[in-house]
A and B are shown apart, each in its own frame.
Chain A
Amino acid sequence: MTAVVQSKSAAAIDAAAAEGRAAFIGYLPAGYPDKETSIQAAIALIENGADILEVGIPYSDPVMDGPVIQQATTEVLARGFRISEVFEIVRAVTEATGAAVLVMTYYNLIDRMGADEFARRLAEAGGAGAITPDLIPDEAEDWLAATDKYGLDRIFLSAPTSAPERAQMVAESSRGFVYGVSIMGVTGTRDSVSDLAEQVVVASKAAGARRVCVGLGVSARSHVEEIGSYADGVIVGTALVAALRDGGPDAVGELARQLSGKS
């Protein structure tokens, strides 16, 4: 690639590395439980230690999500959520915090709007880019072009089962970081971190990835510390969504403080 794009998420990861730690990336669903509360929760998450925010776009068929996130996003869809809300949330959180804000979305939502138009609106809202869990680089021609055009990060996933040549394709196609899938499974909290997590990071780096962040199954400070010892970033989702469900934005802030080791 010839175009030089400043990656907001890479900058956030590098800033954390300069402090001698892995970046903390937190996921929350857009508009859960409502638009205003989801903005407050995101701001609380960032103010209490998250370096990067992932805003998940509720989708009717989330095949990579476990019960907690499914339940939250189903509720959001049931109240008549529209995609335009996501761009409003990205703009509000970016303006309030200056943090790198990524969206996490299943690809049909991008496809329906058109990759170019989706990227244009995301960039216009100040977003850093997108994580696309059901898009592999093989199918991403439109998305690669759109993210190049609007200077957005595009984060593809690398799995424990990815062969070296696939890990290389993922590393070369991604901008910002590579999302290392730590377990074979869907989102949800797990008691311990799988050994696969470190293997994925090692394999991705060997395939040329400069930054690898690990997600799926991370819910405790001890997981963050363990993964942070070999990965460039640690991604937490389900535990934060459960905190938001049970205790609102304050509970999200409290959990973020614990996860980031600030309390």
Chain B
Amino acid sequence: MNTHYRDAAGPYFGDYGGRWMPESLVAALDEVADTFAKAKADPEFTEEYFRLCREYTGRPSLLTEAKRFAAEAGHARIFLKREDLNHTGSHKINNVLGQALIAQRLGKTRLIAETGAGQHGVATATAAALFGMDCVVYMGSADTRRQALNVARMQLLGAEVIPVDHGAQTLKDAINEALRDWVASVETTHYVLGTVAGPHPFPEMVRWFHQVIGEEAREQIITQTGKLPEAVAACVGGGSNAIGIFHGFLDDPEVGLYGYEAGGDGVETGRHASAITLGRSGVLHGARSYLMQDEDGQTVDSHSISAGLDYPSVGPQHAYLNDQGRVTYQPVTDADCMSAFESLCRTEGIIPAIESAHALAGAARLSAEWGSEGEGKVIIVNLSGRGDKDVATAAEWFDLLPDQETDVESADAEAPEVGIQA
């Protein structure tokens, strides 16, 4: 077997990755890298990690065939890797339990994290409760409003949630604030970065904790269909769920890999979060990768209906896999994503996270493109999270909110128009 892409080690993935970080944090990064390298080679560590995956998270997660959803899209069979069924409702728990174990080995007693949609924050708060550690989660103010239920969830778990008012008040600003905390608290604190971005060793380490998704999916699809799939689809923000499932298939060249970025209102409008599609290299949050930036190098605010994909860069290994042509990255607009969201709810009785709905939309598009040639082909979609947290956003999108609330909003919106007419 060609082992060209699997197990790629940091700090560099081709031209990408590295450690573009203040010197103050280098010692901590070295310490994490060293501890992680020793831990993954230590049976005591791996046994404990996989025991938690089994007995706490509920792994292995199921692989469910979505027959009615697939029939609406085209001829291909579509299977869902059910990370939505994990404890805390998404793939994020895989990484967080691993990093909490690393933090324990480092002798750290406090966990900090950034969160966008709230899934990573909830997962970190959960691990902190389980391990008896203090926990602070930074979350953009805009996101605390979009995801109020997850804020309450983190507080119930004993975490302190700090809203971040700087910049666009979204995921990237939450990371900035978490880094500022870490620079000052590194002696007692481990920063549980939630995605495969950031400085080395995070891209490699976070991927390692998510590889289990792809390993399971590969075995399950062979058991359930007798062969490898034609395609694997995942949504890509920072890219942790995507790299987790891709990893299992990276060195199977006959398996097409598809990463779906958040297209927002459409890449042509500028209001999107499709860093790879935009194609400008830069450094942000410790890694060189594709980065949404203006001519001067200032980060451009990203836009997506999905708080979890609302990030202007992407993990460096994805940038590399794009340049190598191993993975195809494409944008999916808010509208296409929500259409797939609604479709999965109605055809399968599964409410997906809006993040994961990007992958569903991409898979449906792929099957439609194949047309009748899709007959007998198989697509696995990584259903990275469940949509409970997104019910309010979806209800607003589909205009399902109670009348009085809609009235208040439309009254506000119409006020200037009345003035003009008068």
Assess whether B19 is in contact with A138, with CB atoms less than 8 Å apart: yes
Which bracket fits the contact residues of B? 20 to 34
A111 interface hit (Cβ, 8 Å): yes
A62 to B293, CA, bound (A): 15
A19 interface hit (Cβ, 8 Å): no
Which residues of A sit under 8 angstroms from B24, Cβ to Cβ?
157, 159-161, 181, 184
Assess whether A133 is in contact with B22, with CB atoms less than 8 Å apart: yes
B20 interface hit (Cβ, 8 Å): yes
Which residues of A sit under 8 angstroms from B107, Cβ to Cβ?
none
Chain B 164-181 interface 0/1 with A at a Cβ cutoff of 8 Å (1 = within): 001100001100100110
B183 interface hit (Cβ, 8 Å): yes
Which residues of A sit under 8 angstroms from B270, Cβ to Cβ?
none
Which residues of A sit under 8 angstroms from B21, Cβ to Cβ?
134, 136
Which residues of A sit under 8 angstroms from B180, Cβ to Cβ?
63-64, 66, 186
A48 interface hit (Cβ, 8 Å): no
A183 to B22, CA, bound (A): 13
B297 interface hit (Cβ, 8 Å): yes
B162 interface hit (Cβ, 8 Å): no
Assess whether A107 is in contact with B285, with CB atoms less than 8 Å apart: no
Given known contacts A60-B167, A108-B282, A159-B27, A77 and B298 CB-to-CB distance under 8 angstroms? yes
Assess whether B19 is in contact with A63, with CB atoms less than 8 Å apart: no
Which residues of A sit under 8 angstroms from B20, Cβ to Cβ?
107, 134-136, 139
Which residues of A sit under 8 angstroms from B282, Cβ to Cβ?
108, 111-112
Stretch at the interface among A6-14, A122-130, A162-170, A232-240: A162-170
Contact partner of A157 among B22, B166, B295, CB < 8 A?
A: B22
Given known contacts A83-B296, A185-B183, A108 and B23 CB-to-CB distance under 8 angstroms? no
Which residues of A sit under 8 angstroms from B172, Cβ to Cβ?
61
B393 interface hit (Cβ, 8 Å): no
Interface centre among B19, B20, B185, B186 (most CB of A within 10 A): B20
Chain B 277-320 interface 0/1 with A at a Cβ cutoff of 8 Å (1 = within): 00000111100000101011111000000000000000000000
A133 to B24, CA, bound (A): 10
A17 interface hit (Cβ, 8 Å): no
Assess whether A185 is in contact with B184, with CB atoms less than 8 Å apart: yes
A232 to B214, CA, bound (A): 55
B245: min CB distance to chain A, Å = 29
Assess whether A82 is in contact with B296, with CB atoms less than 8 Å apart: yes
B52 interface hit (Cβ, 8 Å): no
Which residues of B sit under 8 angstroms from A60, Cβ to Cβ?
167, 298-299
A70 interface hit (Cβ, 8 Å): yes
A150 interface hit (Cβ, 8 Å): no
Assess whether A109 is in contact with B22, with CB atoms less than 8 Å apart: no
Chain A 24-35 interface 0/1 with B at a Cβ cutoff of 8 Å (1 = within): 000000000000
Assess whether A166 is in contact with B23, with CB atoms less than 8 Å apart: yes
B26 interface hit (Cβ, 8 Å): yes
In B164-223, the 8 Å CB interface with A consists of 166-167, 172-173, 176, 179-180, 183-187
Which residues of A sit under 8 angstroms from B295, Cβ to Cβ?
112
A170 to B27, CA, bound (A): 14
A67: min CB distance to chain B, Å = 9
Assess whether A59 is in contact with B298, with CB atoms less than 8 Å apart: yes
A111 to B183, CA, bound (A): 24
Nearest B residue to A185 via CB reads B184
B28 interface hit (Cβ, 8 Å): yes
A82 to B282, CA, bound (A): 18
A110 to B288, CA, bound (A): 13
Nearest B residue to A71 via CB reads B166
Assess whether A108 is in contact with B184, with CB atoms less than 8 Å apart: no
Assess whether A109 is in contact with B297, with CB atoms less than 8 Å apart: yes
Which residues of A sit under 8 angstroms from B121, Cβ to Cβ?
none
A139: min CB distance to chain B, Å = 5
Interface centre among A59, A70, A138 (most CB of B within 10 A): A138
Which residues of B sit under 8 angstroms from A160, Cβ to Cβ?
24
Query: Which residues on A are within 8 Å of B, measured CB to CB?
Result: 59-64, 66, 70, 74, 77, 82-83, 107-113, 133-136, 138-139, 156-163, 166, 170, 181, 183-186
- Can you list 7 pairs linking A and B with CB atoms under 8 Å apart? A61-B176, A61-B299, A109-B296, A109-B298, A138-B18, A184-B183, A186-B183
Query: Which residues on B are within 8 Å of A, measured CB to CB?
Result: 18-24, 26-28, 30, 166-167, 172-173, 176, 179-180, 183-187, 282-285, 291, 293, 295-299
Using A63-B176, A139-B19, A157-B22 as known contacts, list a sample of 15 further A-B pairs with CB atoms less than 8 Å apart, ordered by residue number in A. Answer: A61-B172, A61-B285, A83-B297, A108-B282, A108-B293, A109-B297, A134-B21, A159-B24, A161-B26, A161-B186, A166-B27, A184-B183, A185-B184, A186-B180, A186-B184
A-B pairs with lowest CB-CB distance, top 7: A112-B297, A161-B27, A185-B184, A159-B24, A60-B299, A109-B297, A157-B23
